[in-house]
Chain A
């Protein structure tokens, strides 16, 4: 059982380049999330999805786009990378099925370290 898998693990970009981060989960989870983690700022939510074909903005969505064409995959795109997007990116998923499922667990990927020069 792989859980949540993020690819790539590391990437270096030049300013203005584009790239896509892939998150895949094999737990049939409905909800998926993209976070960025920066020193002293904890985790901040970029975008999230409550099901296949749906996406929503989080706290810091500017400069990012996402897609959830398949339930198991959640893609994070950077159209024109900027140095301010240098960060560690985490994907997470949770079951989220049915009202009243309070407190179900988020499972996290191992992270993607992105540097934008």
Chain B
């Protein structure tokens, strides 16, 4: 069975400082992995995705994530936080060829302090 763990339910950073949101997965094979972002009172938007090509993936708004099979991790980073980054972030295992459902992590709420 596949699962996703987001180690921090809430992260708070100062504007201009780096962001690190952690995600670990459990899978019997190398899965695809996505990060979604949800701004307040909005739907979910795809931030970036890993689908077994390059292990370092760049997304929108300056975010990137690195897939590390040895650590079963897919942490999301950004060099410098902006106020507009304040949102909920979800690490996700998307549907594959052998299953239909999306597996969501519990989410990490990012606060950015001015």
User: How many Å lie between the Cα of A106 and that of B103 in the bound state?
Assistant: 12
Find chain A residues with CB under 8 A from B46 CB: 105-106
Is the Cβ of B43 less than 8 Å from the Cβ of A110?
yes
Q: Is A74 an interface residue (CB 8 A)?
A: no
**Chain A minimum-CB-distance residue to B49:** A103
User: How many Å lie between the Cα of A96 and that of B34 in the bound state?
Assistant: 16
Is the Cβ of B97 less than 8 Å from the Cβ of A45?
no
| A interface footprint on B1-22 (CB within 8 Å = 1, 0 otherwise) | 0000000010000000000000
**Chain B minimum-CB-distance residue to A3:** B43
Is the Cβ of A43 less than 8 Å from the Cβ of B101?
no
Is the Cβ of B104 less than 8 Å from the Cβ of A103?
no
Chain-A contact segment, one of B66-74, B76-84, B88-96: B88-96
Q: State the main secondary structure of chain A at its contact with B.
A: loop
Is the Cβ of B101 less than 8 Å from the Cβ of A90?
no
Is the Cβ of A33 less than 8 Å from the Cβ of B102?
yes
**Chain A minimum-CB-distance residue to B92:** A106
Q: State the main secondary structure of chain B at its contact with A.
A: loop
Tell me how many residues of A have a C-beta within 8 Å of chain B.
28
Is the Cβ of A103 less than 8 Å from the Cβ of B96?
yes
Q: Is A58 an interface residue (CB 8 A)?
A: yes
**Chain A minimum-CB-distance residue to B46:** A105
Is the Cβ of A45 less than 8 Å from the Cβ of B101?
yes
Nearest Cβ distance between residue B54 and chain A, in whole angstroms? 14
Q: With contacts A103-B49, A108-B44 known, is A42 near B97, CB below 8 A?
A: no
| B interface footprint on A50-72 (CB within 8 Å = 1, 0 otherwise) | 10000010100000000000000
Instruction: Enumerate A59-98 residues with CB–CB distance to B below 8 Å.
Output: 90, 92, 94, 96
Is the Cβ of B104 less than 8 Å from the Cβ of A110?
no
Q: Which residues of B contact A (CB under 8 A)?
A: 9, 32, 34, 36, 41-46, 49, 51, 90, 94-97, 100-102, 104-107
